[in-house]
């Protein structure tokens, strides 16, 4: 019984309760593992950050339950796009991340960004209403964009927010 409780506690501590994706802590551990493997074997690894654009509007217009449903659906879509050895995590709110273990090339990272963006952009029905949501995506590759997890996270986050800012400027024009 004690072992089962410990396993349950460890599962709760490592997963996001809504989406059942790895949480921020587990994301960081998996990124550290991917970087250690990349260093040891002379490979590349990558990280992709995904932020949902317009998520607040879904919560405001359809309610928080619909927002939760949207997050769960996005989690399913992201998982469907990545390879089994990669890790999709929910960092919090409407932010997700992917750890790409054994990155084939920087071009492969760019293709993954497009796949993730396109998967999220597919319309869905929430509470009887058709909803479309966009995303801002940014990535970083080891060793090109940084040699530490902190460097890669900072680079991918900065790139994601640059994409988000440019989209706002385009919409305002």
Burial of 94 (0-12, 13-18, 19+ CB in 10 A): buried
Q: 16 catalytic, yes or no?
A: no
- Residue where the block lists tokens 């960004």: 113
**94, 101, 145, 157: the active-site residue:** 94
Q: Which residues on neighbouring strands pair with residue 87, listed in sequence order? A: 99
Alpha-helical (H) ranges within the chain are 2-14, 24-41, 55-62, 64-81, 106-121, 149-172
**Chain position carrying tokens 């059942």:** 20
**Residues labelled catalytic:** 94
């Amino acid at each position: 019984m004690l072992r089962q409780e410990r396993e349950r506690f460890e599962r709760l501590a490592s997963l996001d309760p809504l989406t059942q994706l790895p949480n921020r802590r587990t994301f960081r551990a998996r990124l550290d593992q991917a970087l250690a493997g990349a260093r040891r074997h002379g490979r590349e690894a990558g990280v992709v950050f995904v932020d949902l654009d317009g998520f607040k509007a879904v919560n405001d217009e359809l309610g928080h339950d619909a927002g939760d449903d949207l997050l769960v659906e996005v989690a399913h879509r992201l998982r469907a796009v990545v390879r089994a050895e990669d890790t999709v995590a929910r960092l919090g709110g409407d932010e997700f991340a992917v750890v790409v273990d054994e990155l084939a090339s920087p071009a492969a990272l760019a293709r993954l960004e497009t796949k993730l963006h396109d998967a999220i952009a597919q319309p869905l029905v929430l509470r009887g209403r058709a909803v479309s949501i966009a995303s801002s995506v940014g990535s970083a590759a080891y060793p090109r964009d940084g040699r530490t997890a902190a460097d890669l996270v900072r680079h991918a986050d900065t790139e994601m927010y640059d994409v988000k800012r440019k989209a706002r400027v385009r919409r305002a024009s």
